[in-house]
Amino acid sequence: MSLLQTILATLVTLGLLVTIHEWGHFWVARRCGVKVLRFSVGFGKPLWMRVGRDGTEYTIAAIPLGGYVRMLDEREGDVPESLRAQAFNNKPVLQRIAIVAAGPLVNLLFAVLAYWFLFIYGVSSVVPVVGDVRPDSPAASANVESGYEVLEVDGNSVRSWSEVNLRLAARVGETGRVELMLGEPARGYARSYSVPIERWDVDLERESPVTALGLMPWQPEIPAVIGLLTEDGRAGAAGIQVGDRVLKVDGEPVADWIELVHKVQAAPEQPLELMLEREGRIVTLTVVPATRALPDGRSQGYIGAGVSPVEYPESMQRTLSYGPIEALVAGVEKTGQMIGLTLDAIGKMIAGVISVKNLSGPITIAKVAGTSAASGLESFVSFLAYLSISLGVLNLLPIPMLDGGHLLYYAVELIRGRPVSERVQMLGLRIGMVLLFSLMALAILNDLARLF
């Protein structure tokens, strides 16, 4: 994945989601008779500007981390008598609520349409068959058996590992029991398991909820064949080549890629003698794995080599696709599920049940945007939908400076019959600024910690 590809994917991601968010505000404002002075994608100095026939300035600015719609408003300057009826602050409170809520709601609508497209296009997935159960895990304590497909999680049917992960993610931090049903649909066999969890702490940076529960997804045997080498990696420097098959490490046979990875990870800065098969010849080389520090303080070895892609058999692949109406229903359900999961995660972070290390900032967004774009259309559209939901939900939180903070003020005005005082609004603005800038700083620190 090139730097240029990452930059382009990030610009497309942020540009698209910011544009549709601000377009929601813009479109409803125009329908309510509010004069729009500027529609800007990005902050800072304009890189491009055009003035429309309606007098609105349309701009693309230098900093693509947001945008804004500037409307005529008596609180921000003098308004001619002839234009007072078009000022935002002079509109009825219900119209102001509609204008402010439109941005986040359009983000949620975009997610529905994105998922609708994916469900028509067809979502590829791997059948959620358990390959192994990790000892000393919650699943092992419930005697969950390997070799069977996960059919239900807490009474909800699942058809892919992605769906299993989402259902389990909603249980992170909780105490109770996860109800699983596994079986073989082809022969009508199914068995239920009640898996105990207690303040289930999952480090989402290091593992998924599936593996944290102790379920190891089935995967085909992966031969220890070098598929790629990173630039300036220890493997390439030692003379290892793409296509080499690793037969032994320090004289011990290597069964597959997973075993090779374990041996390398266990030997940071320790010389390893590799016996390789290269084009029918036996080659012996020595490589010294570099050291990578883990979040828990331990060290792990790596040599800068990747595996060749391995195809899953057709029996283990599944494509989820629907007709237009069914896809729309599925899109609405998926968006609702993701909204609930986002709100649940926010609540658990506030309660201290899950770590704030899971917050991500612009660096992580850029990395994931680039990776998902490189993985194909399905992955990239899915990421756009997820990020659009996050943007919509976060903007609806009742925090001053966000759309949700304005909606809170207007709700109070609707109930009381008069606006919230300027003094209270300014106090809320200061609190909101401190809170948002603190969260942004924490997210960026988390990004940097993931990098280094």
The 10s digit of each residue's pLDDT in 98-143 is 999 999 999 999 999 999 999 998 888 889 999 999 998 999 999 9
Nearest to 27 by CA among 93, 88, 75, 98: 98
Nearest to 158 by CA among 132, 133, 129, 193: 129
Share of the chain above pLDDT 90, in %: 54
Tell me the whole-structure pTM to 2 decimals.
0.80
**Rounded Cα–Cα distance for residues 87 and 103 (Å):** 19
Q: Residue written as tokens 């940076």?
A: 205
CA distances for 237 relative to 157, 248, 274, 438, angstroms: 49, 19, 14, 43
User: Dihedral angle at the C-alpha atoms of 376, 314, 154, 358, nearest 10 degrees?
Assistant: -30
| Alpha carbons within 13 A on the beta-carbon side of 446 | 18
What's the whole-number average pLDDT of the chain?
88
Q: In this structure, how many other beta carbons lie within 10 angstroms of the beta carbon of residue 33? A: 12
**Rounded Cα–Cα distance for residues 405 and 401 (Å):** 6
Share of the chain above pLDDT 70, in %: 94
**Rounded Cα–Cα distance for residues 66 and 61 (Å):** 10
CB 307 within 8 A of CB 227: yes
Least confident piece of the model among 40-44, 317-321, 439-443: 439-443
Q: Residue written as tokens 């990098």?
A: 451
Q: pLDDT tens for residues 57-99?
A: 999 998 887 889 999 998 888 888 888 999 999 999 999 999 9
11-22: buried (b, 16+ CB within 10 Å) or exposed (e) per residue?
eebbeebbbbbb
**H or E element in which residue 68 lies:** strand 57-71
Q: Residue written as tokens 């401190």?
A: 434
CB 127 within 8 A of CB 316: yes
What pLDDT, on the 0 to 100 scale, is given for residue 363?
67
Q: pLDDT tens for residues 223-238?
A: 899 988 988 889 999 9
Identify the three-state secondary structure at position 151.
strand
Is residue 76 annotated as part of the catalytic site, yes or no? no
**Rounded Cα–Cα distance for residues 187 and 383 (Å):** 36
**Rounded Cα–Cα distance for residues 276 and 242 (Å):** 11
Reply yes or no on whether the pLDDT at 2 is more than 70: no
Residues 6+ apart with CB under 8 A from 256: 221, 222, 223, 224
Q: Is 286 exposed, middle or buried (0-12, 13-18, 19+ CB in 10 A)?
A: exposed
Structure tokens at 49: 């500007």
**H or E element in which residue 140 lies:** helix 138-141
**H or E element in which residue 325 lies:** helix 324-351
What residues are paired with 306 via a beta bridge?
A: 228
**H or E element in which residue 39 lies:** strand 36-51
Q: pLDDT tens for residues 233-275?
A: 899 999 999 999 999 999 999 988 989 999 999 999 999 999 9
